[in-house]
Each structure stands twice: as structure tokens, then as C-alpha cells.
Amino acid sequence: MKNAGASKKGIILNYLAHQEGYTSAEDLSSTFKISKRTLYYIFKDLNKDLLSKQLEPIQNVRNEGYYLKKCTKEKILETGASIEETTPIKYTKEERCNIDILLSLISNKKVTLEWLSEIENVSRNTVISDIDRARKIIEKSNLSLLNDPNNGYWLSGKEEDIRWWFYEFIGNYSKLLAEITGSEYFQRFIDCETVNRINCVTGKWLEDVERLTGKHFSDDTINTLSNFLPFVIQRILRKKTIDCIKEYELNVLRSYPEYDLVSQLLKLFNINPELNENEVFYIETLLLSSQIKFISLESKYAPQKFTGLDSIVKKVILRFQQISGIDFDNIEELKKNLYVHLLACYYRVRYGVKYQNRLLKEIKKNYGNVFSFTRFSIQPFEAFCKHSISEDEISLISIYFGGEIDKQKRNRLSDNVQKVLIVCSSGIGTSNILKQRLQSLFPFVGFEGPITEREYLKQTEIHENLVVSTVKIPEKSKKVITVHSIPDDQDLKILTKNLVQFDIYRNELVSSILDVVSDYAKINDFNGLTQGLIQLFNKPNLKTGTGGVYQPMLSELLTSSTVRVEKNDGMDWKEAIQKSADPLLQKGKIDQEYIDAMIDVVNQHGPFINIGKETALAHARPENGVNHLGMSLLKLDKPVNLVDKEHPVTLFITLAAVDNTAHLKALSSLATLLGKEEKLEQLLNAKTKEEILSIIEEEENVQ
């Protein structure tokens, strides 16, 4: 049995092969009775299949239409090369359960066991089992999957919960959604004409929103809104509306340009925005909270600087630099990107729009240091929002800081380092995690990007030495290696084999070893031994992901010899910094020049090293007198005024960093420790160094 709609792809490909000149999307949509969105997904699948057969993909000329290159057309017409349609798609149990829920929600006709059995290519008993599991899945969303002989299966629950389930489904199963909605068989169960019209209108409206507001959404956001907005419109038309928005927010929401734009959208479907103002607010908050790629200030309704947010962004970045011990070389781009992100985050927090990051566990596992610093640094933004920020949101914010750290590493690479281009269309979170993962495993390579598949296809020439992509793309004079968004062991083996050739230092070491071996032994396979040694020496540290750099724990740096508890007999903040750093000076880890530099930093920039309640973290740049990595701590019985009375400090911590990585694990633990109010109080109330060391050790055991 074929999956529903499998033949549509072959028919469209054959149709294009017989066309002379261009064929517009409108003509194709009309000819085959499908929406433009469905046509887009069919083209995407066709192009992947054509590329797998070493054929050129379907070409598109803007304002003209689609066509096949002569060589591809001739191959199809000459040999009958077509898309394989005899092998049915095998859905996983999880996918089938979600298909059952989806179709029960959006189908205009009765959903039955027989229909689900046919479209999923499984037995009736399997469908029954899947339905039982699907019911358990949606219980978590406060929904129920009901059925009766007359109406078949349908989804029941509060409208807000139903919409949220579909919103999450788009994010988690966008590829599956495309397959299902692009299915010819499925389209028999929806009103294609109405759906196509709604999709066309909402798509054009989204373009107008970007043009008029100057807020240009990310690719992920466009994909989500393109699927979700037509669904919401259809729900409203079917009288499936939501409850009231909190009353105190209404006047604020009415003042934004998005309010009028959403009202105009509803009018396009003969929906009275005054009678359905709750829906206006609902869609408006969705727009406000959606992730933005950049803001164009030339637009008609271009947003002015959000009052107070700009200064909050500066505080967040400053706190990150303070707690991480990293001084960003150029923070202007980081400030701009973080401002755009936090603007959308503010609205999500303000209006209760949930955000779930599927990569949360991956980020916390592999980038725990940056995550901990971000969680500590985000406190000014939490105060600005008057609401705590979820770990899902924090993980996404941490990607911006991780990317900046990665950028500084790349800027310090030598000029003759080999470059590798990353192509990934999975969104900013996944793309940057992939990049950071690869950069940490292969520090001798300069990874460029990531860019999207669309951006790659537009390029006429690739300047990098190699391309690593999460999607199948054609080669453009440079080899392409396809990996998963989160590389598995097999991916890493393939990458290692291809990237080790770029490690100039270790390859020179291999050459020296071979010279010695050649003097004392006969080498039967010189090339084989060379490649074997190169791969051996360049094997990445897959466990630590730090490129072989050892990162000591906090308890290894703050020890009985570097922690002091003393009385404050009238000392000033300069003397306190000196005393805090003395253990490192005595051990030769720093020079007096470094202590002077830390004091100069405070003289120039004020009490910015005050990172929390009665706590200061003093540091300067490594080149100002750091010999070895080290940390020390001074606990006073009475606070010292750091510059002024507004900044009393009892706990002085000195960091001597040799680079931007070796100290991160220790400071990550410190950030977590200081971020817990009860632990901070214990440190501030400690009377002996033994108490302080015990608190640190206890916290590390918990982490």
C-alpha cells in the first residue's frame, strides 16, 4: 500500500519535464488543486530525491516561475527517471500517535479507524493501540481524544489548550506536518479551496507585518506562524474562540501597531475585530512574543527603543563578563542581537506565552558553564519583567553568549587556519549548539556560519575548504559532509577523518615521528602509517568537549591556602582587593602588576565588580600580570564600601585567568553557588575558612 498522496510528487515532476519555459506557482497550485505551501513542501522533497540521483534540483526564477534544467529534463524524459513511489513511508509509533491527534483536530470529515489505518499503513489493531497512547499523551495538555459512531474521533478541551498543542506540534514535528498536509489522500478530508485562500491571505499579511513594523522574523518563526495563523483563523470561523485576556493589559495592547494590523487581518475574513477583540489580543501577543531576526528602523511602524530595555541589556552583558571572567572584545553586535531577542522574550514573559526549548538538556549537559553564567547574569532582566525567567528561555539566551565566546576563539586563530562552512536550517539554538560542539572538538579549525540552506543555495562560490551540513545539499566545488543537528558517534568519526588533515601543528609532529621511525625501522605502508598517526593524535576529547583543555573545579582553586577570613580594621576597598589577591601573589600565580590593574579597572569603571549582595569578583586582563590560573577569596567580618556607600562588600573574590576557557568550570560553580540565596547567606555569615570550604564542597556534590 502506498502512503496517501505519494503519486502527486511524480505527477508534478513529470508535468515540469514536459513544460517549455517557466511555470508559476499559481498555475501549479491551480492545476493540481493544492496550496502554495503544500507545493513548496513537495518541491523540497522532489529536490532531495533529484539530488540523491545526481540530478539538478528544480530551479526557481523570481517573478517568473519554476523549471527543470535541460540535463535533468532530458534524463527524466529519456530514461523515465522518476520519484520512487512503491515504498510506503514508515511512521514511528510516536509519529502515528501525533498524526491521530492532528487529524482528529483539523479534519472536516469523520476520522475513523479505517481511515487512520490506510493513511498510516498499519493494521486496525495497531491504530487502536496508538489511540490509547495518544490519549495519554494529550492528558498532559489537559485535552481528551473522544469518539462516537456518528462523529468519529475529535479533540476536546479548552480552546487555549487545543491551540497550544497545535503550536507545539508545529515546532516539534514540522517535517511530519508537511508530509501529512502535502498528502493527496489527506486533502480529500479538508476544504482545500478555503484552506488555500486562508494560507494565501495570511502569508501576504505576514509580509506586510514585517514591512510595516520593521520586525523581521526568524526562519523558524515564519514557518510556525505560516502554519499556526491559518489554523487560528479557521478556529475563529468555526466559532472556536478563547476566553478573556487579563483586563489590566488591554489598554497597553491597544496602543501597539500590531493591534490595528491584526484587526485588519480579521476583517479580511469578515470577522468583526470589535466583537472578537480577545482574538485580536491573542494574535497580537503571539506576534509580539515571536522571535525576531532583526529590526529595520525605516519602516512605517518601526519600534522605538523599548524604554529601559537597552540599559538592561548592558547590565546583563556586564554581569556575564563579571561572573565569567571573560572580557568581550567587541560587544556592540552582541548588544544589538541580545536586545532583539530580549524584546520578544519580554512579551513572552509578560503575556504568559510559553516557550519550550527542546534542546534544554543538551545545552545544560554540554554548555553548563555558559548556562550557569547566563542564569546568574539575567537577574536584572527578571527584575525588569517582574517575573522569573524559565530555564527554557535562559538556555536560548545562553546561546548568544556562547556564540560570542566562540567568535573570540575564532578571531584568535592564526591566519592560515583552514575554514569549514556550517549549513543548518534548524534555528538559532540548534545551529549554534552544533557550531560550538564542533569548535570545541576541533579547535584547530575555523568554523564559519552557520547559514541556512536557502543562503547556501544562493551562493555561486564556496570559499571555505569544506562544508558540514545538517541537510542534503549539492556540492559547489567543495566537499559536503552531512551530519545530524546533534552529531552522533558515527558523525564524529566521519568528521574526525575529514578534519584532521587541517591540524598543521600535529601533522608536523607526525612528520617528525615518521622521520625518526624511518631511521630505525622499515615502513611497509608509509601513507597508511601517516594517516593512522594523524588520526590518533587528532582524536577529539568527546567526553569533555573542551578540545583537551583541563578545567579545574572550584574546590581545586579555592583551597585552605587561597581562602582567608579576616577582621576589617578600617581597610578600604583597595586594601581589600590587595589582601584578597595576596595568596596568588605569594604563590607566583600573579605579579603585583595584576593587582594594580584590578584596582585601576575599578577606578576607571566604578564598582562594577560588585556582582551580588556584598560580593565582588575582581579580575583584569591576563596580559596584565597573570602567570598561572588561580582564584582566591577574602571574607571580612564587616563590609568595605566599594567606591561608595551604595556598594558594601564583605566577600572579595580574585580571579586570575590565563585565557577564556580554563577557568569556566570553576566560575560556573561559583555562579550557581552565588545564585542560591541561602548559600550566599551562609558564605556571608561564615566565621572560618573551613566553613567556606565546606559550603563549596557541599554545593559541588549537589551539582
The DSSP string of 508-532 is: HHHHHHHHHHHHHS--S-HHHHHHH
Task: Please work out, in degrees rounded to the nearest 5, the angle formed at the alpha carbon of residue 468 by the alpha carbons of 463 and 471.
Answer: 120
- Dist CA 18 CA 36 (whole Å): 21
User: Do 348 and 644 contact (CB within 8 A), yes or no?
Assistant: no
Amino acid sitting at position 651: L
Instruction: Kindly list the distances between the CA atom of residue 65 and the CA atoms of 20, 27, 420, in Å, as whole numbers in the listed order.
Output: 12, 9, 33
Grid cell digits, residue 509:
609532529
- Dist CA 284 CA 343 (whole Å): 14
- Dist CA 190 CA 183 (whole Å): 11
What DSSP designation does 126 have?
Answer: H
Q: Nearest to residue 479, comparing CAs of 468, 493, 471?
A: 468
Instruction: Kindly list the distances between the CA atom of residue 174 and the CA atoms of 165, 192, 224, 228, 290, in Å, as whole numbers in the listed order.
Output: 13, 20, 8, 11, 17
Options 341, 619, 647, 663, the catalytic residue: 619
Is residue 663 among the annotated active site residues?
no
- Dist CA 462 CA 476 (whole Å): 7
Instruction: Kindly list the distances between the CA atom of residue 216 and the CA atoms of 14, 293, 475, 665, in Å, as whole numbers in the listed order.
Output: 37, 6, 30, 37
Q: Exposed/middle/buried for 99, CB within 10 Å: 0-12, 13-18, 19+? A: buried
Grid cell digits, residue 360:
534544554
Grid cell digits, residue 586:
605569594
For 23, phi then psi, to 5°, come to -125, 120
End-to-end CA distance of the chain: 52
Grid cell digits, residue 489:
558517534
Largest CA distance in the chain: 94
User: Do 349 and 387 contact (CB within 8 A), yes or no?
Assistant: yes
User: Do 466 and 478 contact (CB within 8 A), yes or no?
Assistant: yes
Give the H/E segment covering residue 295.
strand 292-295
Q: Nearest to residue 135, comparing CAs of 123, 125, 124, 147?
A: 147
Instruction: Kindly list the distances between the CA atom of residue 212 and the CA atoms of 207, 225, 277, 301, 381, in Å, as whole numbers in the listed order.
Output: 9, 17, 22, 6, 28
The catalytic residue positions are: 619
